[in-house]
Structures are given as structure tokens and as C-alpha cells.
Structure 1
Amino acid sequence: MAIRRVTPAREALRYGIIGPGTHAQENLLPALAVLDGARLTAVAARRPEAAAEAARRWGASLWTDDWTELVEGGSESGRSVDALIVAGSPGLHANVLERALAEGISVFAEKPPAPDTAALERLVAIEQTAPAGTVAFVGFNFPYGQSYRKLRETLRPHGTLRTLDIRMVSAKPTSPAWDCATVADSLLQGLGTHAVDLALRELGVPDRITARRAEIDTRRLAIRIFLEYADGRLATVLVGNYSNRLEYQCELVTDEGVVGGLDHFNTLTVARPATAPGTGVLDSKETLRYDWPGRRGGYGRTGYATELESFHRSVIRGEPSDSPLSSALDVYRVLDDVRRQTGALA
């Protein structure tokens, strides 16, 4: 057979990243590096040496210590990027979103996208009036994890969800972060947004919210949140800063009595009582266990690659994202209620 020439692919979408810190370099930039049709072209960081080093390491040709340079240029041809990833503080996320969306530049913003509900409401208004084809995406990676999606796919034939329990605990924060006044508020901004977002995606906005707080010691605490629904459904959320590492577990129960669980991003279990409808390997006291293969890599399992793929697809097609700023509003409003009940702002 004669040698063939590869047909050139369409020009890659040019990405810029603002905030190439530890989280970005451990999760977002590796996921971006293997995203088909994407190319990192610019890096912005507060410290010039950090921007230059990240650009060198990840193959970007441009760097700056002033992120506003990435949204300037007047016309599309004058810009160095087509889309932005921002991974910093909620205040930085909000500033980038406000400036970039108004200029017609799509933005993937790590959660939380804004420091408070009022700021997020202003961003939603900007999102709704942004130039056609401009995409805003909030980076809640947990529902995009391939292992979590495998769990939902497994449960889907077995009825609708009736209960959902989520546990997310970590070793931080043990001091106020992100301009929050208290550790409790910082914890709700960090883990609370993730956990409540996951619950609301599955069950919707609750009819009643109850929250309680337990002090572990002078720096560590736990917050339990109960989300109740008029039809009897229930979600419970536990967030805390008393672990020595990030721990994530969830359990889902359907109206057929089928129970599905996920331990971190790695082990999926499914079981149902013998009296539940249907037949098969889940009869009697048997449990189906699935360990996520390590060879599949971590960025798909944890959701970082999958969420970036979703954002990238929306930008390429000029379609709304499936994690818009507007969808985060209900999360913020639930957490505002939790703050009031637990004294998180005191």
C-alpha cells in the first residue's frame, strides 16, 4: 500500500489559563493536555515567575502577570485565546467571568464561581446577555466523574431516586480562606458547594432545609444538612474538615429498593433485597461490586477530563453548557440558608 498523508485536523481551540496553581497543575492542565482539539496558548498568574514556569511546563507560547491581557485585543483576530479556564478564588472567578463574558470569550470557572449570591446573580444576568455562542461553565467535577456516571447508569433501570446521602470530608480548611470570615463559611464554599450541587442535580430544589453544626475542636467542625421534599424524598449531606485527606462517599436508594454506593471515585457497589422487583445477580443477599480500573486514568474517573470535554464541546458547537452559572444559583441559596442556621457567618 502506498504511503498516505494525514488529513489536517481543524484548527485547535486556543485556551488560556488564569491561576496555574496546584489544583490546576494536578487536575485541569493534565486533562486539558489530552483534550482533542484543544491547545494551551497562554498562562496568567500573579507572579511573573509562576506564569513563565507554567507556560514552559505546559507548552504555552505566551505568559503574563496581568490576566486582563487575555481578554483584551478588541477583535477576535487580535486575541490570544478563544476560551479561558480560571482556577483561583471566588472573587477572581467572578472578575474574570464578568469581563470575559461581556467580551464574548467563553469561560470554564472552577467552583465556587462567585463570592456570594448577590455577585452570582449579577453574573447570571451577564451570562444571559453575553454575545451568542459565549459559554459559561462552572467546574463541579463530582457529577462528571466516570465512576459516578457508571453508578447512575447502573441504577437507572431500577426506579427513581428516593434518598441520597453524601459525605465529603477533608483536612482543610482549618483557617478562614477566600476572604471568608470563618472556617465554617470557608468549608461551605469549598466542600459544601460540591455536595449540595450533587444533591440538587439529582433531586431538585428542596422544600425544607435543616442544618446542624458540631464542633470537633477549636479548628475542626462538621456540618450536616438535611434536604426534605414534599413527596417524601430526602437527601443528607455531611461536610467536615476533620479528616487527614479528602474522603468522598455517596449512597443512592431507588423506589425499587436498589441501593448504589460509591467509595471515593474507585469502588461502586449495588445491592437490592430479594423482595424487590426483577431478577438477576442482585437477588437475595448478593452485592455487585465494581472496582474502577486504574488503567483508565484518574482524570476521567474524577470528572476533570469529562467536564472539560463538555465545556469544549459546547464552545465548539456554540451551545449552552450543561453547568451554567444560572444552575449554581439554587446551590448558593441553599447554602445561604445553611449559613443562617449554623452561624457560619458569625
Structure 2
Amino acid sequence: MIRVGLVGIGAQTKENLLPSLLQIPEIQIVAACDVSLERAEEVKGYVRDVQVFKDVATMINIMGPDALVLACPPQAHRDISLMAIERGIHVFVEKPPCFTLNELKDMIDAAARKRVVTGVGLNFRFARPVQHLRKIAASEKFGRTMHVQINHYAGKPRAPMWGLSSTLRSFLLAQTIHSIDLTTAFGKDEHVTDVHSTVQHGTDAMLARIDITFSSGRSASILTGSMFPYFEFDMKVIGDRSSMLTLDNLWNITLHDAEISSQVVGGDKRWRNAWQPGPLDSGYVRSGYFTELTGFFNAIRSGTRFEADFESMIPTYQVIEQVCAAEVQPGVVATPSSSVTGVQQRSVANG
């Protein structure tokens, strides 16, 4: 049994994380913490014997949890994670885990020193359609992935968040972090070698194009921004055997295969093999929340790394830093080794 403390009892915890945790076997939620004790008390509607707190340090001292699950602003994720790690507590934080690459490296170093398991909530990566798409792309028949193309449309945020001064950094951390992370999920032991980006500003919104090259030669492109009237997420994965996978709005997958086309319907037709989640699939499995949390706790039990741990976020934060640096100095292409500190907002680690 893994004893878990929840920190930050807002909409994300109540609507997605807590319901998923309640479905995972051998998990005991022993404590809930929020600056609003009234919000923390709401957890008692799901877990009768849970203890509630307003201060994280007090919760840790009294309850001694094995792991924390956090859904807070990034400055709290950073500070509370560092405090918990020093006490040997495993930590899972919702995205984003922190503001900058330098902060992320500090968190990685602390976790390595204390040998704790870390995790970042990136439910897009663990959504059932994306998991299925990744499985197809990893097959020998599909071939080596050459390019990943993502259209990630959003209408917010259109102003700085979490005390930051940069709307661009806020948007990248709040939205595009999912897309950048997914471009890294189709390669193994790769690192970012080049990033080119352009950012266009409208009246109160932005449009960004990000092109990424990896050490294997694989490339990725992302079109994103807050200049859209609605949310939409589409993805294409291109293999070196004239195969292409498309993901429509995190739901429908279509495999276009030139070989099958020539064998079955002739070379002048486009062969499509379609897949989508079943109507009875659990919403939390389909959306990725159950799968990512299950993977995190399995990593704790086995003493292994979780797929989406702090260290796995290094390429994503390298891209974010370079996109922000390019906007500060237009026309200057930052190298992957560049260290851009950005704005750091310190806060009391009280959840």
C-alpha cells in the first residue's frame, strides 16, 4: 500500500486526478492539503478518513506520506517537490513542473541524490489514442519515424500567468508543453540539436511556429497559439516506408499505407485503416490520467524510472527556452546548450 498526500484541491484534482487515484489498487489517500481548508475538506466526500491540512510541511511531518500528488502553480510544484524530495518522498506534479530549464535541473539533481521517483502530469502522452498511435509507429512495418507534425490550437492564455512577465512563456508552459513533449516521444536516446521559431502577435493573442531537429535526423513542426476560436489538436507521424499516421482531435487514428494501397486497391487509391477508442472505454483511461498515475506508482513499486519523470522533460524545456530567447532577440537562433534563466517567481511553499 502506497500512502499518498494530495496537494492543491482545485478543479484538476477533483475532476481528473482524484477520480483516477480512487480506481488504482493499493493506493491509500491519507492526507489532503490546500491553502483553503474548505477545499481540502471536500476530499472527505470521496475518502472518509482523510486528514486535511493548510500547510504542506505540517502534513508531511504528521502523516509521513510515501508520495505526493500535486496540482498547484509551477512555483509551488518546484518548491514543494524540493522539500518532499529531501525527505525521500516520491512526487508527481501536474504540468508545468517549474518555470525554467535551470529550475528543472535543480529538481532532477535533488531527485537523483535522494533516489526518489518523480512524475509530470502529461495526460496527452498517456491518452489511449496517443498510446495506440505510438505503438503503431514503433512497429517494424511502419518504419523509422522521420517527421512529426502537430497543430495545437487554443484560445488561451492571452496574458501572463503565475506571476511571470512573459505571455509567451506562460502559453508554452500551459499549452504547448504537451505538443513539444509528444514530439520527443517518438525517438529514443535523442537530444535536440536545432530549434527555429517564429512568433506573430495579434491584438491580444499570438501565433507560433516551432521547428525542431533531433540528433537522429528526425524532425518535428508545431503550429500553435492563442489566436484560435476553439481548442483543437491534430497530429501526423510520417515513417520512412511511405506510411503516415494521423490523429484527429486526440480521438481518431488513420493509417495511410502505400504498400497496402498498391496491393489491395491499386496505386491510384489511398488506403486508410482507421481506429478510435471504444464507446465503453473509461474516460480517465481514454484521457490518460489513469494510465499516467498507474505508471508512476508502478515505478515506485519496481524502483524504476517513470516514463514522464523530471529528467524526461529536459528536451521540452530546451525548446521552450530557445523559443523564448528567439523572441527576445529576433533573428538569433539559440543553440541547445544555451541557458536562458527567464523570470523566476519565488513563493512560500505552502501549497
- TM bracket, shorter-chain basis: 0.7 to 0.9
1:151 aligns with 133
Q: Could you tell which deviates more after superposition, 315-324 or 31-40?
A: 315-324
- Name the SS for the 1:72 alignment partner: helix
Deviation at 1:16, TM superposition (A): 1.2
Determine whether 1:87 maps to 2:71. yes
Query: What pairs up with 1:283-298 in 2 under 5 angstroms?
Result: 284-298=269-283
Question: Given the superposition, is the C-alpha separation of residues 24 and 67 from structure 1 closer, same or farther in structure 2, using an over 3 Å criterion?
Answer: same
Task: Flag structure 1 segments of 5+ consecutive residues without an equivalent.
Answer: 1-11, 74-78
Preserved CA contact (<8 Å) 1:187 1:239: no
2:337 aligns with none
- Name the SS for the 2:307 alignment partner: coil
Preserved CA contact (<8 Å) 1:167 1:238: yes
Cα distance in 2 for residues equivalent to 1:17 and 1:275: 50
- Aligned letter for 2:192? P
Cα distance in 1 for residues equivalent to 2:236 and 2:169: 25
Cα distance in 2 for residues equivalent to 1:244 and 1:13: 43
Query: What pairs up with 1:150-299 in 2 under 5 angstroms?
Result: 150-155=132-137, 156=139, 157-203=141-187, 204-215=190-201, 217-229=202-214, 232-274=217-259, 284-299=269-284
- Aligned letter for 2:257? R
TM-score, length basis structure 2: 0.86
- Aligned letter for 1:147? P
Cα distance in 1 for residues equivalent to 2:27 and 2:18: 11
Deviation at 1:171, TM superposition (A): 2.4
Cα distance in 1 for residues equivalent to 2:266 and 2:68: 46
- Aligned letter for 1:207? T
2:11 to 13, 22, 25: 22
Determine whether 1:13 maps to 2:2. yes
- Name the SS for the 1:294 alignment partner: coil
Q: Deviations over 1:260-297 (max 9, x none)?
A: 01112211111122588x95689741211112113102
1:71 aligns with 60
- Name the SS for the 1:271 alignment partner: strand
Cα distance in 1 for residues equivalent to 2:58 and 2:263: 61
Question: Given the superposition, is the C-alpha separation of residues 281 and 343 from structure 1 closer, same or farther in structure 2, using an over 3 Å criterion?
Answer: farther
Cα distance in 1 for residues equivalent to 2:27 and 2:238: 39
Cα distance in 2 for residues equivalent to 1:59 and 1:269: 45
1:138 aligns with 120
The structure with higher relative contact order (CA 8 Å, sep 6+) is: 2
Question: Given the superposition, is the C-alpha separation of residues 65 and 158 from structure 1 closer, same or farther in structure 2, using an over 3 Å criterion?
Answer: same
Deviation at 1:97, TM superposition (A): 0.9
Q: Deviations over 1:71-103 (max 9, x none)?
A: 224xxxxx3422110011110111111011110
2:43 to 34, 54, 77: 54
Preserved CA contact (<8 Å) 2:125 2:178: no
Cα distance in 2 for residues equivalent to 1:282 and 1:251: 23
Cα distance in 2 for residues equivalent to 1:167 and 1:93: 28
Cα distance in 1 for residues equivalent to 2:19 and 2:294: 13
CA RMSD of aligned residues (A): 2.3
Task: Flag structure 2 segments of 5+ consecutive residues without an equivalent.
Answer: 330-341, 344-351
Deviation at 1:342, TM superposition (A): 2.3
Question: Given the superposition, is the C-alpha separation of residues 60 and 183 from structure 1 closer, same or farther in structure 2, using an over 3 Å criterion?
Answer: farther
Deviation at 1:60, TM superposition (A): 5.1
Determine whether 1:329 maps to 2:320. no
